[in-house]
């Protein structure tokens, strides 16, 4: 029924591959392609299904992608390479007539800045080609938007306040490591903060605003306001929102390392000359930091990500909190990866499943909250990310 091509063989790609392979009634033909083919082969070996094909591809080059697509003929591509490759993969999808799904919005390599405008600009071309593009289908972005859509569909006439809260209370027992691609992660966190209020974006210093937030089964954790891409599409798709913010927890050790990395220039994204060779400091840093894919083995604790929403239903104000907690150990046992890769890869697989079931098929470029959240929410419970709801409680925020 479903011929799927996964691009990217990192932590997230590994989880996507495991979950796709587990759902063989939907995904009948699978290929994993990435820059380093041996990583794709290692995933296939770990899954133990030799029918999964692998290939080498440099996804920065449209013509290489088109050749691969024309050869394997996937119906859908799951892009879990890096945000830098979003536009080349979308372009190749248009040229080869393939549908598209990703988990992170486009970011130019030479500018630490992300926004949807670059990908939304493809809307008409996807529409005219009769192809579906599903943007931002990881956990956040991804499930955060689906949780919001579910709240809007079932519990609110108008959503007024939205706070997305993302806690990682896990311990990988390393002095410093990032949970997904270090380059992307450090670029995201060292940016200025931003939130939406009364029709305008308010800019803050980097990690300037913070407060303790209590997470289920975890307790209070200092949470920092940062800009996150789903805020852009959610305030557009839910115009009744008066304020939308995103919070993420960080430990003191992590923040101290981050400050030092920035202060000594290792977070720089411009080229410098080193012994007559051009290098980009943050890319060099990535090479010496622990690989997020290797963190799983001793990772203890859990993540807790959810949406805290205030709005009105039948003229009365209500609050709603919907969240998932994910154990790093359980994620590792199932896929060999830690919880952050798991919470991203499972929703990407479910999004692809929604497409193949014909439930999320709409020509054009779509953010996840534009589709029916119900079948997706049902699958989260079945595929390893069960969610919980709390009604009319103090949201703390």
Q: What is the contact surface with ligand NDP in residues (CB under 6 A)? A: 8-13, 34-36, 39, 57-60, 80-83, 85, 103-104, 138-142, 180-181, 184, 292-293, 340, 344
Residue nearest to ligand NDP (CB): 10
Nearer to ligand NDP (CB atom), residue 58 or residue 203: 58
Q: Cα–Cα distance between 163 and 153 in angstroms, integer?
A: 18
Q: How far is the CB of 319 from ligand NDP (least distance, A)?
A: 24
Nearer to ligand NDP (CB atom), residue 2 or residue 138: 138
Nearer to ligand NDP (CB atom), residue 140 or residue 369: 140
Nearer to ligand NDP (CB atom), residue 182 or residue 364: 182
Nearer to ligand NDP (CB atom), residue 129 or residue 244: 244
Strand 200-204 to 364-367 pairing: unpaired
Q: How far is the CB of 37 from ligand NDP (least distance, A)?
A: 9
Nearer to ligand NDP (CB atom), residue 61 or residue 333: 61
Q: How far is the CB of 239 from ligand NDP (least distance, A)?
A: 24
- Measured from the Cβ of residue 175, the count of other Cβ atoms closer than 10 Å reads 9
- Cβ proximity of 348 and 198 under 8 Å: no
- Cβ proximity of 327 and 339 under 8 Å: yes
Q: How far is the CB of 236 from ligand NDP (least distance, A)?
A: 18
Q: How far is the CB of 64 from ligand NDP (least distance, A)?
A: 9
Q: Which residues pair with residue 318 across a beta bridge?
A: 311
Q: In what order do the strands lie in the sheet with 2-7?
A: 53-56, 27-34, 2-7, 76-79, 99-102, 132-135, 364-367
Q: How far is the CB of 138 from ligand NDP (least distance, A)?
A: 2
Nearer to ligand NDP (CB atom), residue 74 or residue 311: 74
Nearer to ligand NDP (CB atom), residue 293 or residue 327: 293
CA angle 62, 68, 72 (to 5 degrees): 145
Phi/psi at 137 (5° precision): -110, 50
Q: How far is the CB of 173 from ligand NDP (least distance, A)?
A: 19
Nearer to ligand NDP (CB atom), residue 18 or residue 310: 18
Q: Is the dihedral of CA 275, 276, 280, 284 positive or negative?
A: negative
Q: How far is the CB of 136 from ligand NDP (least distance, A)?
A: 6
Q: How far is the CB of 18 from ligand NDP (least distance, A)?
A: 13
**Per-residue burial over 16-39, b = 16 or more CB atoms within 10 Å of its CB, e = otherwise:** bbbbbbbbeebbebbbbbbbeeeb
Burial of 1 (C-beta count, 10 Å sphere; 0-12/13-18/19+): exposed
Peptide bond into 266 cis (omega under 30): no
């Amino acid at each position: 029924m479903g011929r799927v091509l996964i691009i990217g063989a990192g932590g997230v790609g590994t989880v996507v591959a495991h979950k796709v392979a587990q759902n063989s009634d939907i995904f009948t033909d699978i290929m994993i392609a990435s820059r380093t083919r041996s990583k794709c082969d290692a995933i296939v070996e770990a899954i133990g299904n030799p029918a999964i094909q692998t290939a080498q591809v440099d996804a920065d080059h449209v013509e290489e992608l088109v050749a691969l697509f024309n050869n394997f003929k996937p119906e859908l591509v799951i892009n879990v390479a890096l945000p830098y490759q979003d536009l080349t993969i979308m372009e190749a999808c248009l040229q080869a007539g393939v549908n598209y799904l990703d988990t992170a919005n486009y970011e130019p390599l030479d500018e630490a800045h992300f926004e949807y405008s670059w990908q939304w600009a493809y809307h008409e071309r996807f529409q005219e080609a009769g192809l579906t593009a599903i943007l931002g289908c990881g956990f956040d972005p991804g499930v955060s938007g689906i949780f919001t859509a579910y709240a809007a569909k079932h519990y609110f006439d108008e959503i007024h306040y939205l706070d997305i809260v993302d806690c990682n209370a896990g311990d990988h027992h390393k002095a410093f490591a990032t949970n997904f691609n270090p380059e992307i992660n450090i670029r995201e966190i060292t940016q200025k903060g931003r939130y939406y209020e009364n029709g305008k974006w308010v800019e803050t210093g980097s990690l300037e605003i913070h407060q303790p937030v209590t997470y289920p089964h975890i307790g209070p954790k200092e949470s920092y306001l940062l800009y996150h891409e789903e805020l852009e599409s959610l305030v557009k798709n839910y115009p009744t929102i008066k304020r939308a913010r995103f919070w993420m927890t960080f430990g003191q050790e992590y923040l101290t390392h981050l400050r030092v990395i920035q202060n000594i220039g290792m977070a720089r994204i411009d080229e410098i000359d080193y012994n007559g060779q051009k290098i980009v400091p943050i890319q060099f840093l990535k090479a010496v930091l622990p690989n997020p894919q290797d963190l799983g083995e001793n990772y203890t604790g859990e993540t807790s990500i959810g949406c805290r929403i205030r709005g009105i239903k039948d003229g009365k104000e209500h609050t709603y909190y919907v969240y998932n907690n994910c154990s790093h150990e359980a994620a590792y046992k199932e896929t060999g990866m830690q919880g952050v890769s798991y919470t991203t890869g499972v929703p990407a697989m479910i999004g692809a499943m929604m497409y193949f079931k014909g439930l999320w098929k709409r020509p054009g470029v779509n953010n996840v909250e534009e589709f029916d959240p119900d079948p997706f929410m049902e699958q989260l419970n079945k595929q390893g990310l069960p969610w919980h709801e709390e009604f009319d409680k103090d949201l703390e925020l």
